[in-house]
Amino acid sequence: MIKITFHISEIINVGPEIIIERIASELNKPGYIIKKRTTNNLEFENTIWQRGTQSDAFGKIDGGQFNIDTTEKKSVIYFSYYLDPSYEILLITGLIIWGFIKNYTVFFLLIPLLLIFSFRIINVKSVGRIMIRKITNP
């Protein structure tokens, strides 16, 4: 699996137990599965075989991890999340091969696919920022 990984960190004045509960409630949406949960760590992933529209899957993070470091008065949330571009890479590679074998006009289909993939990257980054903002400022 290929992953494009993004990282965000935030400082918050709340204990790790409350932060983990906020994260779990934020991930309590269709499509996300919590894989591992400890007092300072939470890992999740997106189930792609879920019912829904393509636009629902388009705006979801494929997986990630929250780590919480605590000091005397502050907690730091480190959020690592990723996007799996395997589907797009497979589709683009198939179109390139088809273009070389059959007809070069297929290459014009690459432009919209690359634009859609770029929008997906931007959208997933935005969803990650919104998710961390909801956790730090409920």
pLDDT of 122 higher than 90: yes
In this structure, what are the phi and psi dihedrals at residue 69, rounded to the nearest 5 degrees?
A: -105, 130
Stretch 107-115: mean pLDDT: 88
Domain ranges, residue 111 = 4-136
pTM metric for this prediction: 0.83
Q: 86: domain CATH number?
A: 3.30.310.80
Q: CA–CA separation, 75 vs 66, rounded Å? A: 12
50 three-class SS:
coil
E strands in the chain: 4-12, 32-37, 41-46, 63-70, 75-83
pLDDT of 53 higher than 70: no
pLDDT of 34 higher than 80: yes
How many independent structural domains does the chain possess? 1
**pLDDT in the model for residue 60:** 82
Stretch 62-70: mean pLDDT: 92
pLDDT of 24 higher than 60: yes
Cα–Cα distance list, 82 to 4, 18, 27, 78, 121 (Å): 5, 24, 15, 13, 10
